[in-house]
Amino acid sequence: MNGMWNPEYETMERERLRELQFERLQMTVRWAYNNVPFYREQWEEAGLRPQDIGSLDDLEKIPFTVKDDFRRAYPYGLFAVPLEQVVRIHSSTGTTSRPTVVGYTRGDLNTWAELTARVASAGGAHAHDVAQIAFGYGLPTGGFGLHAGLERLGATVIPASTGNTRRQLTIMRDFHTTVLVCTPSYAMYIAGSIEEMGFDREELKLRVGLFGAEPWTNEVREQLEARLGLSATDNYGLSEIMGPGVSGECLMKEGLHVNEDHFIVEVVDPETGERVPEGKEGELVFTSLTKEALPVLRYRTGDLATMNLRPCACGRTFARHTKVFARTDDMLIVRGVNVFPSQVEQVLGRIEGVEPHFQILLTREDALDQMEVQVEVEPAIFPDQMRKLVEFEREVADRLQEELGVRARVRLVEPKGVPRFSGKARRVVDNR
Ligand SMILES: [Zn+2]
């Protein structure tokens, strides 16, 4: 069954879609200009007024928005409504660098549920399903986003949250879970744990996997489908734009359909910022068309992909982008969590006795990302007792976890113990 949650929009003729996009763009531009000082100042600097946006092509005149704009506006500076109209806050983790904070009005939550319902439906979920959500429920958007969409679809939702794989598997078996929602790497870990923990695949009822929040290949898809006995699709979104629900694969599994009635997607050359032609790789840039609390104009995601406007066999007319594998910056995705090497540097910089040299080593064990941080310490701090060494490593690991939201193994090395390349430390070695 290839369900479609909202055929009226999802199969809209492209010409009509462009008209709708333009109407909504004009509203969004006025909304942002009139209610967010950041945008007004940015536009004034560029000598631009809302009435200058006379067609969809004029979108290119609008300055970009970047992640740093969110950090500078911390916490609520980009909100277009007073706080009393905001009914939900989400945020990135982080205690040293300013996190990005996003807000939703009642209307925004309604839209979000609509769009994640579409993504879930496109991936094969329907009202009779039992959906187990193994994303974290908290400040990041993964868990709550798909939760709302699956409830709207009428599925029975189990907010299992992350971790405790044995409990996840017990729930999966006893509650007759048919839809699994998590990162692809955690799904892979679950697949590996089924036999190991003495569960019988035949007792599981899984049929649909909605996976996202990190890059994954079609080879991983094939493995997950074979080992878990389900159909696996990819979905994409980031909190600055909304969260999951921005785009998702249909059962053709040939690209992620962007919900273009709510977002305009552009692909630009990361160097020049100029648009690149269809089919050429570039950075994904999104403009929201219906958001109330936090309208975003031309937000640069840092994610690289190509777009494709060819009609899809599923009947949807929305453009598709390829899976996102690469980024324009040094952001790492570890178990679905965004990690910047600069965050590691900041944490280490505040710990006495730690040198500014470190290396992040990424590997994959049992299909799960492992992060090791090798840290150089002053000779004086290198304790001669094993117990103290272990304690110190744990303390550094705790501090890192607090900041990054993901656990790293910490290994202390002597000064110059981290390999240098032409005098400079190589910050990241990714062996995944
Ligand atoms: Zn399709």
**According to the model, what pLDDT value does residue 425 have?**
58
pLDDT at position 121 is 98
pLDDT in tens, 35-58: 999 999 999 999 999 999 999 999
Is the confidence at residue 73, as pLDDT, over 70? yes
Q: Where are the domains of the chain?
A: 7-329, 334-430
Q: Which residue has the higher pLDDT, 424 or 169?
A: 169
Distance 180 CA to ligand 1 centre (A): 21
* Ligand 1 centroid from CA 233, angstroms: 11
Kindly give the distance from the C-alpha atom of residue 257 to the centroid of ligand 1, in angstroms, as a whole number: 7
Distance (angstroms) between ligand 1 centre and the Cα of 2 equals 10
pLDDT 10s digits, 306-343: 999 999 999 999 999 999 978 888 888 888 888 888 88
Burial class (CB in 10 A: 0-12, 13-18, 19+), 25: buried
How many whole angstroms from 248 Cα to the centroid of ligand 1? 9
Q: Which of 79-93, 269-283, 399-413, 415-429 has the lowest mean pLDDT?
A: 415-429
Distance between Cα 410 and ligand 1 center (Å): 44
Q: Which comes out higher in pLDDT, residue 174 or 188?
A: 174
Q: Which of 3.40.50.1100, 3.30.300.30, 1.20.120.1200, 3.30.1490.20 is the CATH number of 334-430?
A: 3.30.300.30
Q: How far is the CA of 176 from the centre of ligand 1 (A)?
A: 28
Average pLDDT over residues 356-379: 87
Pairing, β 179-182 against β 130-133? parallel
Distance 376 CA to ligand 1 centre (A): 50
Report the phi/psi class of residue 244: left, alpha or beta, with left for phi > 0 and alpha for psi in -120 to 50.
Answer: beta
Pairing of strands 307-308, 299-305: unpaired
Question: DSSP letter string over 234-280?
Answer: EEEEETTTTEEEEEEE-TT-SSEEE-TTTEEEEEE-TTT--B--TTS
CA 315 – ligand 1 centroid, Å: 6
> Separation of 58 CA from ligand 1 center, angstroms?
29
Task: Report residue 424's pLDDT band, with 50, 70 and 90 as the boundaries.
Answer: low
* Averaged pLDDT for residues 272-296: 97
Distance (Å, rounded) from C-alpha 80 to C-alpha 219? Answer: 43
Closest CA to 180 of 214, 146, 154, 153: 146
CA of 249 to the centre of ligand 1 (A): 7
Position 79 pLDDT exceeds 70: yes
Average pLDDT value for residue range 410-417: 85
- In this structure, what token pair is assigned to residue 284? 């994904």
Instruction: Read off the pLDDT of each residue in 180-195 and give the average, rounded to a whole number.
Output: 91
Q: What is 7-329's CATH number? A: 3.40.50.12780
Question: Cα(251) to centroid of ligand 1, in Å?
Answer: 7
- Structure confidence at residue 422 (pLDDT): 55
- The share of the chain scoring above pLDDT 90, in percent, equals 72
Instruction: Kindly indicate the confidence band of residue 363, based on its pLDDT and cuts at 50, 70 and 90.
Output: very high
pLDDT value for 102: 97
Instruction: Please tell me the distance between residue 383's alpha carbon and the centre of ligand 1 in angstroms.
Output: 59
Q: Is pLDDT larger for residue 416 or for residue 230?
A: 230
CA 37 to each of CA 40, 41, 76, 97, 296: distance values in angstroms, whole numbers, following the listed order: 5, 6, 12, 23, 13
For residue 27, give the nearest of 247, 266, 288 by alpha carbon: 288
Question: What spacing in Å lies between the alpha carbon of 360 and ligand 1's midpoint?
Answer: 38
Whole-number Å distance, alpha carbon 250 to ligand 1 midpoint, is: 5
**Distance (Å) from CA 213 to ligand 1 centroid:** 20
pLDDT in tens, 220-256: 899 999 999 999 999 999 999 999 999 999 999 999 9
The CA 177 to ligand 1 mean position distance, Å, reads: 25
Cα–Cα distance for residue pair 120/112, rounded to 1 Å = 12
End-to-end CA, the chain: 35
What pLDDT band is residue 1 in, cutting at 50, 70 and 90? very low
How far, in Å, from the CA of 320 to the mean position of ligand 1? 8
Spacing, Cα 118 to ligand 1 middle (Å): 12
CA of 316 to the centre of ligand 1 (A): 5
Over residues 178-189, mean pLDDT? 93
- Give the Å distance between the CA of 120 and the centre of ligand 1: 13
The pLDDT of 183-205, averaged and rounded, is 91
Q: Regarding predicted confidence, which is higher, 219 or 69?
A: 69
Report how far ligand 1's centroid is from the alpha carbon of 312 (Å): 5
Structure confidence at residue 292 (pLDDT): 98
Strand order in the sheet with 299-305: 263-268, 282-288, 299-305, 326-327
Provide the pLDDT for residue 95: 60
Residues 166-191 have a mean pLDDT of 95
CA of 91 to the centre of ligand 1 (A): 31
The answer to whether domain 7-329 and domain 334-430 are alike in fold is: no
pTM score of the predicted model: 0.86
* Mean pLDDT computed over 354-371: 86
Ligand 1 center to 94 CA (angstroms) = 37
Average pLDDT, rounded, for the chain:
92
Which whole number is the average pLDDT over 377-390?
A: 76
The pLDDT of 183-192, averaged and rounded, is: 90
Q: What would the pLDDT profile of 98-135 be if each residue is shown by its tens digit?
A: 889 999 999 999 999 999 999 999 999 999 999 999 99
Cα 185 to Cα 8: distance, rounded to the nearest angstrom: 35
Ligand 1 centroid vs 253 CA: distance in angstroms?
Answer: 7
